[in-house]
Structure 1
Amino acid sequence: MRRPPPGQTVTVSTQGEPFRAFVPAPLPPVPPLEWTATLRSRFDRALLALGRLDAVSALLPNAELLLYSFVRKEAVLSSQIEGTQSSLADLLLYEIDEQPGVPIEDAQEVSRCVAALAHGVRRLREGFPLSLRLLREMHAVLLDHPRGAGKTPGEFRRSQVWLGGTRPGNALFVPPPADALAGCLHDFERFLHDLPEATPALVKAGLAHVQFETIHPFLDGNGRIGRLLIVLQLLADGLLREPLLYPSLFFKTHRALYYDLLNGVRTDGDWERWLDFFAEGVEASASQAVRTAQALLALVSTDRDRIATLGRAAASGLALHSALQRQPVTSAAALGKATGLSAATVNKTLVLLEKLGVVSELTERRRGRVFAYRDYVALINAGLDEPPKTDASERAEGATWEDG
């Protein structure tokens, strides 16, 4: 079925130059989605994968140990999609007041993405609904850094934005004009709350992501908030108990296609192709998260058994091992603070853990040494440094959906 574009194009004039802006129609799509057997099967597999991931989180002795790393992985990936150069190692170094390998502003931006997700999850657990107000609160947290100061943190835009080009008249895509924003956002919030009709949770997450990106309600940070919205929606609707999903890895790997399909919804109303891709991404991301969680648990168990053979040093070794799971890149001083062990004991034990191959030193200095739980970080880092896949769909329009 070929449906009309999901919205209307309006002519706007700014400083005497007319241009055309796109105002999306309210969700859910009209006419209704065409649920082919292939698309239904794709969503069934995605839901099954999410169920497995949720079961893993329920069985973990301490889900917080994985949450620390998984949430940071999603933040790094989502920021990398927008061009931020910070790696996971850069973020972890920044968080312990060490100099990252990129400009500190990049690491700050990723750190604020972590904080924005944490804020959203905390508010949901306090009983606050997924709403425009919550998205504004998260945006304020996201842009709480020097680069974001002039981008009206926590406020919806009051001026026109455009993507690609030097002005709206030659832009690749122009979101709704400011005077249409309130109506678009009102309808968007109603959809999040299953009005005018209920929508299955995973379908809702896929539709809402596109709608948010199309509305582009902020001056900056729309891409990152829009991807965090996916995880929050799944939490709010009960498909996940913990934010262990990192869908941005799939989006980054298939970045050109990701943008192409978002554009296809706007220009052709092709929701089905986007939803097929979205469900594939959720299935792949959830399955990989399960594999990573299982590998981390196996690694932790194996290393715990090896450390237990250290004799009198086993107790201090296990204490450091436990602290390293909470913060896999850390300093000797921070390990002492986390465990209550003396500096001398920490340093002697770290020597033993280095000999076992559990930790490796990232610095070569006598004071303020930094260590990494080597294999733990390697497992979390999987996929972060892979270049995006390209195909025939990659073209200049890819810039249409940048974060701006």
Structure 2
Amino acid sequence: MERGGTGHYETTSVAGESVRAFVPAPLPPEMPLEFTPERRKLLERATLALGRLDSVTLLLPDPDIFLYAYVRREAVLSSQIEGTQSSFSDLLLFELEEAPGVPFDDVLEVSNYVSALNHGMERLAGGFPLSNRLLREMHALLLSRGRGSHKQPGEFRRSQNWLGGTRPGNARFVPPPPQQVEALMGDLERFIHDERQPYTTLVKAALAHVQFETIHPFLDGNGRLGRMLISFILHHEGILRRPLLYLSLYFRQYRPRYYELLDQVRTQGDWEAWLDFFLEGVERTANDAVDTARRLVRLFQEDEARIQRQGRRAGTLFRCFQVICRRPLITVNELCARTGLSYPAAAAAIDTLGELGVLDEITGRKRNRVYRYTTYVSILNEGTLA
């Protein structure tokens, strides 16, 4: 549905050239969204898929295992959209030890993403509100090291940015002038917490994501933080007990359409086309996450059954296996530290788990060897670049 532009342009001067910066109107849209029977069904299916995702953790013996893995998978995917080449395995290697051979700058960005996301979850769990202050805290961690660390981490931008093109004058899109950012983000924060607005939490998250990306409040990291915001709104409002919905893979798969729809909202006011795309992504992503969780449960059960058939060794092997489920890349020393086993006992357990097809060695070295829970990592690697 076309309503006309959802904001206005302001002419500003950047580096000696005149550009038109877009300033979005506050949410919610002045003309209410249209909910056809088809769109209501799509909203219902997406909501049901979120319900299944929220309950899937009940299947898991330890939900934190899934959260640990899924947060890192999202960090890899979201960072890949921004051009990094790190894989899920690269990140796990980096966290285990800053291993040679991983793309250091890239994996550092992904590690920063994990830190930012974990910080946000911890703050919300402690009762801190979903707010601009929290977003700035997360941004400070997102850009704390590596590329982007010179671009005002934790601060709203004080200069003009742009998307596409080599300069503002030939950019695809120019966000609001910097002096408008604080007020616009204040409006967005009020919308997120406004209980009088007429839309469900899922629709609110869809609207808020577009608004955040349109404001583009930081000099760098807006895409990554804007994608986190979706999951955090759903988590903050109790739709998801754990922030497990991450749309980065869906947005990456349909990147041209994603950008086209953001532009259609700004220039034509077509919120409905964006909402349809968003809800389809939510349904698909939530269903995929449920399928992944079920496959991991099945994998754990099958491997536990193999271990239980090992007789007297089963107790020690299972103790090691529980650690490996939480840390699917491991060294003998790390296993000793986490289980309290002696080095010979841990090494023997790793050898047996290798014989059972649970682990394989990935470095080819004779010393400081790293072992991988191969099938587990393969499942989480699906959809990433490597």
- Which residue does the alignment assign to 1:396? none
- Which residue does the alignment assign to 1:382? 382
Cα distance between partner residues in 1 of 2:97 and 2:266: 43
Mapping of 1:1-400 within 5 angstroms? 1-99=1-99, 101-194=101-194, 197-385=197-385
Letter in 1 for 2:186: H
TM-score normalised to the size of structure 2?
A: 0.97
After the TM superposition, which of the residue ranges 229-238 and 191-200 deviates more from structure 2? 191-200
Deviation at 1:379, TM superposition (A): 1.1
Cα distance between partner residues in 1 of 2:109 and 2:65: 23
Letter in 2 for 1:188: L
Tell whether the 8 Å contact from 1:57 to 1:241 is kept in structure 2 after alignment.
Answer: no
Cα distance between partner residues in 2 of 1:290 and 1:164: 36
Tell whether the 8 Å contact from 1:8 to 1:25 is kept in structure 2 after alignment.
Answer: yes
Tell whether the 8 Å contact from 1:78 to 1:224 is kept in structure 2 after alignment.
Answer: yes
After the TM superposition, which of the residue ranges 212-221 and 303-312 deviates more from structure 2? 303-312
- Which residue does the alignment assign to 1:397? none
Note closer, same or farther for the CA distance 1:56–1:133 as it changes in structure 2 (3 Å cut): same
Aligned residues: 386
Tell whether the 8 Å contact from 2:85 to 2:385 is kept in structure 1 after alignment.
Answer: no
TM-score normalised to the size of structure 1?
A: 0.93
Cα distance between partner residues in 2 of 1:356 and 1:372: 13
Tell whether the 8 Å contact from 2:94 to 2:102 is kept in structure 1 after alignment.
Answer: no
- Which residue does the alignment assign to 1:400? none
After the TM superposition, which of the residue ranges 345-354 and 288-297 deviates more from structure 2? 345-354
Deviation at 1:59, TM superposition (A): 4.2
Deviation at 1:374, TM superposition (A): 0.8
Q: What secondary structure does 1:147 align onto?
A: coil
Letter in 2 for 1:23: V
RMSD, aligned α-carbons: 1.4
Letter in 1 for 2:273: R
Deviation at 1:15, TM superposition (A): 4.3
Q: Work out the percentage of aligned pairs sharing the same amino acid.
A: 55
After the TM superposition, which of the residue ranges 63-72 and 330-339 deviates more from structure 2? 330-339
Cα distance between partner residues in 2 of 1:100 and 1:70: 25
Deviation at 1:120, TM superposition (A): 0.6
Cα distance between partner residues in 2 of 1:168 and 1:135: 26
After the TM superposition, which of the residue ranges 69-78 and 197-206 deviates more from structure 2? 197-206
Deviation at 1:196, TM superposition (A): 5.9
Cα distance between partner residues in 2 of 1:196 and 1:117: 29
Tell whether the 8 Å contact from 2:228 to 2:246 is kept in structure 1 after alignment.
Answer: no
Tell whether the 8 Å contact from 1:90 to 1:100 is kept in structure 2 after alignment.
Answer: no
Unaligned runs of 5+ in 2: none
Cα distance between partner residues in 2 of 1:168 and 1:369: 50
